[in-house]
Structure 1
Amino acid sequence: MVLSAGCGGFLSDPTPTPEQTESAPETIERTSTADPTPEVADASRQRFQFEDSPFRKERVIVGINDTVNYGNFTSAASDALSYWNKYGSTYGRYDAHFVLQPNATNPDIELRRSKQVNCPKERQIGCSPTPAEETVFNGSSNHTAFVDNTTVIVRIESSSETNWRMDRNNVIHEMGHMLGLNHYNYPIWVMAPPGKGIKHSVKDVSETSYPWRDPELKVYVDTSNVSKSEQSQVVNSTQEVIEYYNSGAEDTRIKELNLELTDSQYKADIIINPGANASDIYPKGRSVDRDANLEYLVKVVINVGAEDTDRSYDLIGRMMAYLTRPGSPPPEFKQVTVGTKQG
């Protein structure tokens, strides 16, 4: 067996592939297309393909071992596998159809989700093997850090701070390695290592017309730190803001934008947190080039200070402007100012 560690050091030297050099960047900016899709720039790229699958079959069973027990990880994993079932023939080194069977006995691949992963390198949030062309996952006598008997282990780190989008993207990334891809292969939006990706500069969140890869966003209001009367006020303010932006915010937002309240913090892309120490916004996202700035968002917390509850409509509305078109607040909230942190 010859394979390397995705997101980690080499277990042994893999067979070089023609695309293990820096590739031209994809267009990260999203406007009218749902998340995630292959970019037109990559559609004509010739794919280097293995002669055979390392599983020696096309139908690959994927099981789940989840010790975090937070959120619907099965749904996030299903979305990730659906991505590769749709685009694997465009990007992957071999053809595979992933079949999710969460409780499968001896699956071909196990998604092992835990609060802390045991990976070759420190500070990794996931790791998996990257097969070379001659790799065979036969399980007969091989037992490495990534192969347990007949099952290949893909490690995913998660916690109560992780949402569905972060879990899904992590699984897409690691399963990309399973398909033979390295950090400089397409799709760059998810395969590039954060802050250590392509040399070509990509538009930062502040420079884009829409900073997400999906026009449909879920909003969760955490009312655990405020009184009942304040809860109603913040929820009503949030709903009014959502209606304003869904209507187009006076023709300043993409037509496909659809914000929706959810009762699941795990499913939320945006969390409204009233009763905080101060009013500010804390975005989390991904950098696919080599600067520290985010190129797209995956989760955002909007903090409403305990003393600002009466201004919750203005504050949430202004911060939502940053999340839907960073450099262009709509007329309704143009005069409101808040702080921003980057995560």
Structure 2
Amino acid sequence: MRRACLVALLVVVAGCSVGLDDVSDAADPMTGSGSPWDDDELVVAIDSGGGDREYRPLVREALSYWEGEGGQYAAYEAAFVLDPNATDPDVVVTFVDDVDECGDVDDAAGCAPRLSSDSRVDPPVAVEVEANLSDESTVIVTKHEFGHVLGLSHDDDPQSIMAHSTDLTTEPQPNATERALPWQNESLSVAVDVSNASNPSGAQDQVRHALDYYGDSADGTVPENVSFRIVENRSAADVVITYVETLPCQGDVGSCASRSGVDPDGDGAAERYDSLEITVAGVDTAAVGWHVGYWLGYGFGHTSEYDWAQPFRDADAEDRWSEWWR
């Protein structure tokens, strides 16, 4: 008996079940080869993992699918009795913070054994589902995992349920702009290329001033444990700072930035950032640090003027050229 999982990749979450395609004892759907259970009526219990969320209607919806139209695809017939507090269940659906292990797959959103007529069942069979999914996605994952319990693999129909990947979302989460730390980790890697600046060494020093300022909490506008480390690999960096000849945004002189992140709850706004690109062009060396510092604030979710530290509010040219970080 092998376990199958649904893998979660966030930004709209993708999922896949793996590790079961080579199971030699799996029954093909509708072969009439029988059930691995002693009884065709399976008692299903729910373990909410200590939380107070009501999972009963979500599990009921998933089971109803397999008792209805989904039954035509299952490898064997089964009816379900949902008894969340059953003392001697056949299947327990457990909602967990993380699916720690499911074959050789990381970031699984669900996990269950794939049963066949030849499987040896020792109840209760465990079905795990990630606890922080939205109601809709909880039903999707639960349907998928019960498909494995009923003998189906990722190659089997219905592909809308059993495909190795699908879109999932989490329960509502705070947006990045609402978080004190909108990054997954407090230590950010930074790649810097100021080779196009008129004074590369001076521009590099200016960038360092900006990073040190934020590493010292930017006058309390970012958490105190934020730190930065310089890396060479631009593609692997959290933050990329580049001095260019022409800005990718409007204008030839000044600076701009873009940030991207993950949207696991599917509300159209990033909940965490995973990339910040700061571009500077045609700026006097003495003002490079100010421009970088301003956009670092943007990378920490600042949106209104007073989110930024004082040096970045209504600054004129003289302010930008000053030693504002002191």
Task: Give the TM-score of the pair, scaled to structure 2.
Answer: 0.47
Task: Give the TM-score of the pair, scaled to structure 1.
Answer: 0.45
